[in-house]
Amino acid sequence: MGRKSKIKMALIATYPEMSKIFLDIANKRGIIAYDHYASFDDALEAAKKYEPDVDIILSRGGTAAYLRENLTTPVVFIPITSFDVLEAARKLGPDVKEVALIHYDLNTIRVLDVIDEIFGIKIHDYKFITREDIERDVREVIDSGVRTIIGGEVAVRLARAAGIEGIELSAGVDTINRAIEEAIQIVENSRKTCHQAARLEAAFNAITDGVVITDENGDVVVSNPNAENILGKKGMVGEKFIDDAPDSRYSESAGNIKPQYDYLRKIGERMINASNIPVEWDSEFVGMVNTFEDVTKIQRLEQDIRIQLHKKGLFAKYRFGDIITDDPVMKSVIHIAKTYAGTDLAILIEGESGTGKELFAQSIHNASRRAEGPFVAINCAAIPEHLLESELFGYEAGAFTGASKSGKGGYFELAHGGTIFLDEIGEMPMQLQTRLLRVLQEKEVMRLGGSRYTPVDVRVVSASNQSLLDMTERNAFREDLYYRLNVLNVKLPPLRKRRDDIEPLLREYLERNEASIGEELLQRILPVMKVYDWPGNVRELQNAAQRLSFIASHRAGADMKELITILGLEPKQRQDGGMRVKVDITDGLKGAVAKIESEIIEQTIEECYGDHEEAARRLKIGRTTLWRKGGKEE
């Protein structure tokens, strides 16, 4: 990659201090700088010497205007600001009560009344365009009896030569710095335009399609190398374009506004996809764009694209058939999600962590018309906030420190034609929620540091392990974005509400781990697993299956307590010591109390996975009392 060339800048200074400030700023900013002290004709002569070697020239007032009229290189004005005039007024002696201000008529000075009010000095305003105007103004000032002039180098020199006081109207550091900034922007924009033209030419020549553009008379204006290869014709520019083969539709479009898109025709031994698109301006036919594409190359490219997307991981692996369930509620959720997959509407998947939200997102993508397009997943909680914006929307070259010199497309651009999955969407910062809302509304994205929008065709599936509706009520999530994302909704039940799925899921994960688990060991642990609450849901069950595989090969004879410890299924002690019990009181208080005791004992034994000794310890009673009050051992 070539290094970015430094900007070359020349200053035609109208006073010495300007050069010093300019060179200091240029050095700090890495600018190759030249400077010359001159004005008007002398300035033009100097500037012409620098012109072949610099990108841009800076000067001030009338000198800058004179250079701009006589040079082809861009000239940036260092303006005269109100602050400059105030600084000059501060240099006036206490006895000065009247002064003439001679300045170039580029900006209107708005501080004259303020100076009169603050310093008690009457200022006479003189504006000039040419050097002759300055000479005339100085004479008028002298004739009027005013003995102090504030102005540029020429006005001050003429004043002093006439024996009156002349005070230099100099530009401050901020003013010169802003002018340099403007110059940099002009050069960079100019370079971008040149680079863009070079890129367009390179792109036109690199297009795999053959392209021939003709004018209103049918003469070839431009063609690319691939057109010459496909058509078997060289040096077509300037010649009449004739395409009168039997299967061509060129003549049907030529001279009118009737385009012919994507029709197959044969050129030599190759099948070609051709289009003839008339160009009109002000309802007048002005030419034709003719494209020719090798069909065999299209087929090869499509295959390559699928291979590349697969390598990058921009594809969905899972389908609805991969979801293991015997639970009626879960089967209903799958049926609903399959129905939603047939649309392009936004879908919000809600469920606790580990319930399989990405599994559903991938399945929806693979069941949709976008299945051949990319599937791009991004976890909004896993990427630092300061990087998330550039990852989602991309960035232009130089958008921030450390940015790639060539820029980078964001996930929305990568997902064009497919699906983007925004996991943990509730963690997205408010500022980015606003940008995301606009992308969803307008279906176009602007890169960070960019100035143009790129259309994107993307189906949005988002997911959250917390209620976005509750977050909107707490002003933690934009309400308008919530309704934009929640057009269709899929709610995934936690594993504790589909306990019948624990055994088939466990057996499937053990099989994937190629674990040889004896049925006896499996039957020992299944009752414990079926009463465990699984706060980590299916993901936690997968981890438990891996631990169980370890037990089968290393600790097959482990007792129940050891099994529970290794599997991470230890009884969870209630943090608040409370328990919710519902009892029928139709038998009166005595009967209700007995039922309450029985219910508490049963729930405690269940929480301890059948360990009566642990249950008695928690309830602070003996095992005999536990047994007597209804805690019978199996």
Could you read off the pLDDT of 67-85 as tens digits, one per residue? 888 999 999 988 877 777 8
SS3 538: helix
pLDDT of res. 249: 62
Residues 6+ apart with CB under 8 A from 13: 19, 22, 35, 36, 37, 38, 59
CATH number of the structural domain 82-170: 3.40.50.10660
Q: Residue 154's pLDDT is what?
A: 82
- The whole-number pLDDT of residue 81 equals 77
Q: Which CATH architecture has domain 207-297?
A: 2-Layer Sandwich (3.30)
The CATH code of domain 320-491 reads 3.40.50.300
Dihedral angle computed from the Cα positions of residues 311, 313, 319 and 322, in that order, rounded to the nearest 10 degrees: 90
First CA to last CA distance, the chain: 77
Q: Which two tokens stand for residue 621?
A: 């009673």
Same fold, 8-79+175-189 and 320-491: yes
CA distances 34 to 12, 178, 518, Å, are 9, 18, 86
In single-letter form, the type of residue at position 521 comes to L
- Within 10 angstroms of residue 284's Cβ, the number of other Cβ atoms is 9
Using N-to-C axis directions, what is the helix angle for 40-50 and 61-70, rounded to 10°? 50
Q: What is the DSSP string of 237-280?
A: TTSBP----TT--HHHHTTSS--EEEEEEEETTEEEEEEEEEEE
**Nearest-angstrom CA–CA distance, 631 and 629:** 6
Q: Report the pLDDT value the prediction gives residue 583, as an integer from 0 to 100.
A: 65
Residue 258 CA to residue 588 CA, distance in Å, equals 91
Predicted local confidence at residue 579, as pLDDT? 56
Query: Domain 495-567 belongs to what topology?
Result: Helicase, Ruva Protein; domain 3 (1.10.8)
For residue 311, the model assigns a pLDDT of: 47
For residue 383, give the nearest of 431, 429, 416, 434 by alpha carbon: 429
User: DSSP assignment, residue 517?
Assistant: -
Fold of 8-79+175-189: Rossmann fold (3.40.50)
Q: Give the pLDDT of residue 256.
A: 58
Distance of alpha carbon 19 from alpha carbon 16, whole angstroms: 5
| Separation of alpha carbons 440 and 458, rounded Å | 9
What residue type is assigned to position 306 of the chain? R
CATH of 571-634, one of 3.40.50, 1.10.10, 1.10.3470, 1.10.3230: 1.10.10
Query: Which residues have a Cβ under 8 Å from the Cβ of 79 and sit 6 or more positions away?
Result: 60, 106, 107, 171, 175, 179
For the chain, which residues make up each domain, given as ranges? 8-79+175-189, 82-170, 207-297, 320-491, 495-567, 571-634
Cα-only R_g, the chain: 40
Place of tokens 């494209």: 291
User: What CA–CA distance (Å, rounded) separates 179 from 633?
Assistant: 90
Counting as low any pLDDT under 70, the low residues of the chain are: 1-4, 40-41, 105-113, 243-257, 269, 295-313, 401-406, 555-559, 570-585, 606-607, 609-610, 629-634
Beta carbons within 10 angstroms of residue 57's beta carbon: 25
194: left (phi over 0), alpha (psi -120 to 50) or beta: alpha
